[in-house]
Amino acid sequence: MVLETFIEHEATRAEIYKLLSDSFYPPDEAVYAKTKTLHKNIGMYCPGEIRSSGVRENKAPSWKDHLEIKVDHARLFVGPYTLLAPPYGSVYLDTERRIMGNSTFDVVNCYRNAGLMVTEDYKNPPDHIAVELEFMHFLIVKEIKATTEENFLDFASTLNKQQTFLDTHLCPWIFEFVDNVERNAQTSFYRSLARITKAYVRYDFQTVTSMANSLHGGGSELKNSEPLNIHP
């Protein structure tokens, strides 16, 4: 893969993760435009899943459409009653299945090791699905920067962080989470979002694994990394 094509591929990866992240926040008026771009980009990599997801052609949203999506978002992710699809990693990863468990602090350490800090005014737990997806976007952007600067050590380090984060944090819980979303959503918007999120993270896991394995064989610093143990 020539350098320009590789950078374009990685830029699309970064954009997909950012759009996925935005899609799990409370929906705003721009949600349809973002979703159209998201489906287009993911369709380049997972076209079969887009066809089977039931995604409708983008159309001008009515007030009723937007209201139904907002209500569905609250039902699934916010409450005030029992959350139908808790969007926090610790609920799925920790034995106590509660918010702000031990795995939450592990995620914070991942952010810190990448040079990020969770601001005090951020109200959600730091292992919220939207935050973890945006963290992947951040790491890919750093990887692109290292590539354009021909800094192999930074490239390998950032790719290793992606591999580790997918392996130990995002993949171990996101598939159960999106299954909950698809099962409990009352709108096609969130059912489709669940399906394409599942398809894309599975695809990207395989992509990052392949890239990292290539570096393993090339004698990079990744050679001493622990093997992946997730098989989505």
Residue type for 88, please? Y
pLDDT for res 43: 83
Higher pLDDT, 94 or 14: 14
Q: Are 95 and 120 in contact (CB under 8 A)?
A: no
User: In a 10 Å sphere around its CB, with 0-12 CB exposed, 13-18 middle and 19+ buried, how is residue 55 labelled?
Assistant: buried
Lowest mean pLDDT among 123-132, 147-156, 206-215, 220-229: 220-229
Asked if residue 117 lies in contact with residue 75, where contact means CB atoms within 8 angstroms, the answer is no
The pLDDT of residue 63 is: 61
Is 224's pLDDT higher than 70? no
- How confident is the model at residue 151, as a pLDDT? 94
Residue 171: C-alpha distances to residues 44, 155, 162 (Å): 22, 22, 11
Phi and psi (nearest 5°) for 218? Answer: -90, 5
Contact 26, 123 (CB under 8 A): no
pLDDT at 57 > cutoff 60: no
Report the greatest alpha carbon distance in the chain. 57
Amino acid in the structure at residue 195:
R
pLDDT at residue 143 is higher than 90: yes
User: Looking at residue 61, what is its pLDDT?
Assistant: 58
User: Residue 218: which pLDDT band, with cuts at 50, 70 and 90?
Assistant: very low
CATH homologous superfamily for the domain 3-224: TorD-like (1.10.3480.10)
How open is the CA angle 211-142-229, to the nearest 5 degrees?
Answer: 40
Q: What is the pTM of this model?
A: 0.87
- Please state the domain extents for the chain: 3-224
Taking 80 as the threshold, does the pLDDT of residue 71 lie above it?
Answer: yes
Q: Give mean pLDDT, residues 201-209.
A: 91
